């Protein structure tokens, strides 16, 4: 999965050179539509005509823009009909929008974000999108062309605060599992769901979450088989452009912390923090089909990298995010703060605090799928 963020290690913005243009035909016209709708067969015929125009304008195949469609809310029957009508190679990216938390005036947004059953509903959409492409349009890739979680400009003191990063990173992990190639965030600036504050242009917590994802999570997605409380979310990727793997852990519980122990056979055992509630153990396994993804961490690697994200003063609606206990704030010249990990011995458990997020990097972990 690919996800780009507007920043690098030194400045808030980075100049990207886009070598491929994109065009999108229509907006939210699929299924029942938003305000208006178009029949899938008619839309498919229009897409064919639009593709013909693009081919006339751009004679060289490599110069032709990618055609994205339909840029609406996923309806499996409608999307399947679109691919069948438009035919092979016409739609390059099958795109959909994700606003699964509801409207900005919903008073239950935080409860929804911390409810694993509610979050799991989105998995059906990603899974069905993948199946639709496999059955009707293997030439196309799945894109989330717009996603803010909460429609109507996002939720005030939700979409622009720490709590939203739990939803955001969970969505990135979930979308990756089902071969989503691009995830476009609504928006960089604007509304409550902007990555930057609309008044000060300072980064909201989701900016830093996206930046860590961008730096640490590679394109290779590893399967995670979890036998643990539903409040624990886990995703694993090949490390970004380096050897090793990165594990994303999310704790939805606001009362219970967990010790996550990485074992040599790639088992990950979970136990509730002894200072919070009685002990209980569980097991995670990273699998590739029925075989292990890799062997134990190399013997000469004794430390791993950990990036723990929490809310300032434990306030889930804080606009200040802490990285390993230190606030993430721009420098005097507007530079991105250092986002350094803590180094921890590989044989010690990962201490996952209540309602927190952790990126755990195993630099020398030998995963065959990442070689």
Q: Nearest Cα to 320, choosing from 213, 205, 159?
A: 205
Q: For residue range 26-42, what is the model confidence (pLDDT) as tens digits?
A: 899 999 999 999 999 99
| pLDDT given for residue 17 in this prediction | 46
Mean pLDDT of 73-99: 97
For the ranges 83-97, 209-223, 229-243, 254-268, which has the lowest average pLDDT? 254-268
DSSP sequence for 235-275? EEEEETTSSSEEEEEEE--SS--EEEEE-TTSEEEEEE-TT
Proportion of the chain above pLDDT 70, given as a percent: 84
| pLDDT given for residue 26 in this prediction | 84
| pLDDT given for residue 367 in this prediction | 83
Mean pLDDT of 234-253: 95
Write down the mean pLDDT value for the chain.
Answer: 87
Mean pLDDT of 155-176: 98
Top-confidence residue, 206 or 35: 206
Q: Report whether pLDDT(1) > 80.
A: no
Rounded Cα gap, residues 287 and 112, in angstroms: 29
Could you tell me which residues are beta bridge partners of residue 268?
Answer: 262, 284
Q: Report whether pLDDT(221) > 60.
A: yes
Beta strands in the chain (DSSP E): 22-24, 66-72, 93-98, 102-103, 141-147, 150-151, 180-185, 217-227, 232-239, 245-251, 258-262, 267-272, 281-288, 291-292, 303-311, 321-323, 326-327, 342-345, 350-352, 356-362
| pLDDT given for residue 272 in this prediction | 61
pLDDT-derived band at 160, boundaries 50, 70, 90: very high
Q: For residue range 322-336, what is the model confidence (pLDDT) as tens digits?
A: 999 999 999 989 999
| pLDDT given for residue 224 in this prediction | 81
Helix, strand, coil share (%) of the chain residues, nearest 5: 25, 30, 45
| pLDDT given for residue 364 in this prediction | 84
Top-confidence residue, 324 or 364: 324
Domains (ranges, CATH) in the chain?
Answer: 22-201 (3.20.20.80), 221-370 (2.60.40)
In angstroms, what CA-CA distances link 341 with 10, 38, 64, 327? 17, 50, 42, 14
Q: Report whether pLDDT(355) > 60.
A: yes
Mean pLDDT of 173-185: 96
pLDDT-derived band at 12, boundaries 50, 70, 90: low
For the ranges 187-196, 197-206, 269-278, 336-345, which has the lowest average pLDDT? 269-278
Residues marked active site are found at 28, 146
């Amino acid at each position: 999965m690919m996800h780009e963020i507007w920043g690098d290690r030194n400045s808030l913005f980075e100049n990207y050179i886009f070598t491929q243009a994109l065009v999108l035909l229509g907006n939210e016209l699929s299924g029942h539509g938003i305000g208006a709708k178009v029949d899938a067969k008619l839309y498919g015929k229009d897409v064919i005509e639009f593709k013909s125009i693009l081919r006339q304008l751009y004679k060289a195949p490599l110069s032709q823009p990618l055609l994205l469609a339909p840029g609406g809310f996923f309806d499996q029957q409608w999307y399947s009909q679109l691919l069948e009508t438009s035919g092979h190679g016409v739609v390059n990216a099958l795109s959909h929008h994700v606003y699964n938390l509801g409207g900005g005036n919903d008073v239950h947004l935080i409860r929804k974000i911390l409810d694993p059953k509610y979050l799991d509903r989105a998995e059906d959409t990603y899974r069905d999108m993948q199946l639709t492409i496999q059955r009707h349009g293997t030439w196309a890739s799945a894109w989330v062309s717009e996603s803010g979680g909460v429609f109507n400009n996002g939720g005030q003191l939700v979409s622009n605060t720490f709590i939203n990063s739990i939803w955001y990173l969970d969505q990135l992990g979930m979308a990756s599992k089902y071969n989503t190639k691009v995830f476009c965030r609504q928006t960089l600036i604007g509304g409550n769901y902007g990555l930057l504050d609309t008044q000060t242009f300072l980064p909201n917590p989701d900016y830093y979450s996206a930046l860590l994802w961008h730096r640490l999570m590679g394109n290779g997605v590893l399967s995670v088989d979890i036998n643990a409380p539903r409040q624990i979310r886990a995703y694993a990727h090949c490390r970004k452009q380096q050897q090793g793997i990165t594990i994303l852990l999310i704790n939805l519980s606001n009362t219970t912390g967990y010790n996550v122990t990485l074992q040599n056979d790639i088992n990950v055992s979970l136990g509730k923090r002894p200072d919070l509630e009685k002990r209980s153990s569980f097991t995670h396994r990273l699998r590739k089909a029925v075989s292990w993804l890799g062997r134990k961490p190399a013997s000469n690697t004794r430390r791993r990298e950990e990036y723990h994200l929490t809310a300032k003063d434990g306030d889930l609606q804080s606009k200040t995010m802490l990285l390993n206990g230190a606030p993430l704030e721009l420098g005097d010249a507007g530079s991105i703060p250092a986002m350094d990990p803590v180094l921890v011995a590989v044989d010690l458990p990962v201490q996952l605090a209540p309602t927190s997020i952790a990126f755990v990097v195993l630099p020398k972990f030998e995963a065959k799928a990442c070689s």
